[in-house]
Amino acid sequence: MNKGVKSLKVLPAEFYLLWTDFEPWTLEDSAAVMYILDYFLSIDGWNTMLRERLLEIYDKTLVDKMLPFRPEDYYQFERMTTLVDDDLAKIDMLLSPEEA
């Protein structure tokens, strides 16, 4: 991506609209994106973020009434199933040892 941007004669319009310069992409940027995606794809990422934002505005008792925190809603491992080799073979997704 950094090489592609260096080859451009003019940066995309959003750089000019936001009055910013291009900063090269780093490994830390990739790690940060992976961390953020992991957080938001977690079971309660969005609810946690919403609760924190509401707590900035309202008191805890009101937020607890609006968004009750119930651990049983988030940790439902007893309802989860794991695919075994037979299940994967049925849908032709079982990898041979050479492919793994």
20 vs 12: CA distance, rounded Å: 11
Closest CA to 47 of 32, 69, 62, 65: 69
* 36 vs 75 pLDDT, higher one: 36
Q: What is the pLDDT of residues 13-22, one digit of tens each?
A: 888 898 888 8
At which residue do the structure tokens 């977690």 appear?
A: 42
Q: What is the dihedral of CA 1, 15, 39, 3, to 10 degrees?
A: 10
Q: What is the pTM of this model?
A: 0.37
74 neighbors 43 (Cβ within 8 angstroms): yes
Q: What is the pLDDT of residues 34-58, one digit of tens each?
A: 888 877 776 667 777 888 899 999 9
